[in-house]
Amino acid sequence: MSSARSEIFRQDLFRGKTAFLAGATSGINLAIAERMAALGANVFVISRDSAKVAAAVGRLGGNASGCAADVREYEAVAGSIDACAARFGAIDFVVSGAAGNFLAHAAELSPRGFRTVIDIDLIGSFHVARAAFSRMRKPGASLIFISALQSFTAYPQQVHVCAAKAGIDSMMRALALEWGPAGVRVNSIAPGPIRDTEGMARLAPDAAATSRITSGIPLGRFGEKADIADLAVFLCSDAAANISGALMVSDGAGSAGRNW
Ligand code: NAP
Ligand code: COA
């Protein structure tokens, strides 16, 4: 992170706060965890692979913990939320970003392939939100789903992800209605293409695909993990105290309209 960027938010902004992050042992969600930890938060991360969890916790430093849990298993998610609360107390911020993606033509995608992505992205996100709610510090908690442009724009070979992410954002708005009175803000972040991530390695595996994507982005660049981490920090800060039920897009205007 550039030093100018690291000075955007006050250094101790999240001191005494606790964040639970699902799917945060690599990529964008790990970058969010790192940014929150750097601002003083206690962070608790989960993903399926215990070796990845251990590596992430080591990287996140002293106020970090985590455990292996598959978001498709409600009891495993609830157990990890309990472990987070036992270690750090009430949870202030929840980031639900576990996801699976691959390119597959709809006519060839097996029903189990479609269901797998729905299970991880959509049902897994409900599991995280549902299990976390009773442990959130209320009022004041912030729940963020990591969505994608597929939520509102169709892409070929992405029928499974389009359905899953649209479901997440519809659920986000429903939860914002139900949990607003308790003082929980619920929002989604839809990143555009983000450099150096597993997601882009899968969706834009070669230089030609990368340059095609960049040429369609008015700001002319791929997003950075830090762009999304800073947006998540903003959404958890008091600067976003009146923002709930919102889908925040960070894509350099790539989805703003047809660029021709
Ligand atoms: P990534 O590095 O593959 O991150 C996915 C994370 O989710 C990993 O920590 C993975 O760890 C975990 N995970 C996967 N399945 C899980 C499951 N069933 N239960 C628990 N954890 C699980 O991918 P990324 O590219 O950074 O993407 C992160 C998020 O951003 C996703 O929600 C994605 O849809 C969204 N997004 C990404 C882009 C992009 O350009 N990369 C663009 C738009 C949206 P384990 O393998 O250990 O489980
Ligand atoms: N094309 C078509 N179908 C595919 C596929 C691909 N590239 N990859 C998996 N599938 C199908 C499988 O064939 C299987 O269906 P089947 O039993 O009818 O054949 C189904 O999806 C489940 O596959 P499986 O490998 O058992 O799932 P898993 O639970 O072990 O892994 C995935 C989940 C498939 C989403 C895997 O890619 C993953 O773990 N992804 C996490 C990381 C990631 O995707 N990061 C980017 C986030 S944007």
- Taking CA atoms only, the protein residue closest to ligand 2 atom 39 is 100
Ligand nearest to the CA of 116: 2
For residues 97 and 28, the answer to whether their CB atoms sit within 8 Å is: yes
165 is catalytic: yes
φ and ψ at residue 24, rounded to 5 degrees:
-120, 40
How remote is the CA of residue 58 from the centroid of ligand 2, in Å?
28
Helix (H) or strand (E) holding 185, with range, is strand 185-191
Does the C-beta of 114 come closer than 6 Å to ligand 2? no
Tell me the average pLDDT across 16-43. 98
User: What tens digit of pLDDT does each residue of 147-172 get?
Assistant: 999 999 999 999 999 999 999 999 99
The set of residues, in sequence order, having a beta carbon less than 8 Å from that of 2 and lying 6+ positions away, is: none
pLDDT given for residue 259 in this prediction: 72
Ligand nearest to the CA of 210: 1
Whether this prediction's pTM lies above 0.75 is answered by: yes
User: What tens digit of pLDDT does each residue of 192-207 get?
Assistant: 999 999 999 999 989 9
- Taking CA atoms only, the protein residue closest to ligand 2 atom 14 is 113
For residues 141 and 93, the answer to whether their CB atoms sit within 8 Å is: yes
Percentage of the chain with pLDDT > 90? 95
User: Quick one: which atom of ligand 1 is closest to the CA of 119?
Assistant: 18
Looking at residue 120, what DSSP letter applies? I
pLDDT band (50, 70, 90) for residue 1: low
How remote is the CA of residue 97 from the centroid of ligand 1, in Å?
6
Does the C-beta of 102 come closer than 6 Å to ligand 2? yes
96 is catalytic: no
User: What tens digit of pLDDT does each residue of 46-105 get?
Assistant: 999 999 999 999 999 989 999 999 999 999 999 999 999 999 999 999 999 999 999 999
pLDDT given for residue 58 in this prediction: 98
Mutation pick for ligand 2 pocket among 46, 102, 200 (CB with most ligand atoms within 8 Å): 102
d(CA 65, CA 136) in angstroms, rounded, equals 17
Q: How many CB atoms lie within 10 A of CB 67?
A: 18
d(CA 107, CA 171) in angstroms, rounded, equals 27
For residues 169 and 161, the answer to whether their CB atoms sit within 8 Å is: no
pLDDT band (50, 70, 90) for residue 32: very high
**What does the mean pLDDT of the chain come to?**
97
